[in-house]
Amino acid sequence: MMNTHEIMMKLQKNFINFLVLIILIIVAYKIFVAGQKKVEDINAETQVALQKNAVLTQISQSERRLKNLNRQIVNKDKNALLPTLNAVAKDCQVKIIAINRLPIDDRSSGYSKYPFSLNIAVDNYHALGKFISAVESHPFLFSIDSMRVSPSQEGQSSRYKLQVAIDISAILIKE
């Protein structure tokens, strides 16, 4: 049989082992909590970085679109405006009666507006719509500023049933 001294020694060893085990569990828990905090911080930084990347991607796409638009404005020669309008009119079966240049709007720093007043004759509204669509979608960047449509003065005998006065501006990028 064991005497009390031996029992006390065993209890003391077990108690020390138990105390060391508790201390190790507390230390492990503290390390785990610190690791979880680091993981949360890293996740928060990752979310911020992803948001920054999304914004940078949008900026990059906007820059590409701007470069593409600048590339589409292939003609920066103001002397090519009238032949271009004439060619578009011919393609759309529109007769140009008169072209008058209006004062140039050169107030902005990045571009210049070259306005024109056109008097045209068209057979019907469909041809007029085709002409306007071709002008507005042209890479030269034309813009329809105003338009007035009236019946032709020549009467029913004329091929062209409508007379249209259009103010068009060509927008050219300054170099």
d(CA 82, CA 63): 31
pLDDT tens, residue by residue, 85-143: 889 999 998 999 998 888 877 666 677 788 889 999 998 889 899 999 998 888 778 88
Per the prediction, the chain carries an average pLDDT of 85
d(CA 38, CA 33): 9
d(CA 50, CA 89): 51
CATH superfamily of 78-173: Ribosomal protein S6/Translation elongation factor EF1B (3.30.70.60)
Helices marked H in the chain — which ranges? 4-72, 81-91, 125-136
Question: Domain extents for the chain?
Answer: 1-72, 78-173
**pTM of the entire predicted model:** 0.55
pLDDT tens, residue by residue, 43-61: 999 999 999 999 999 999 9
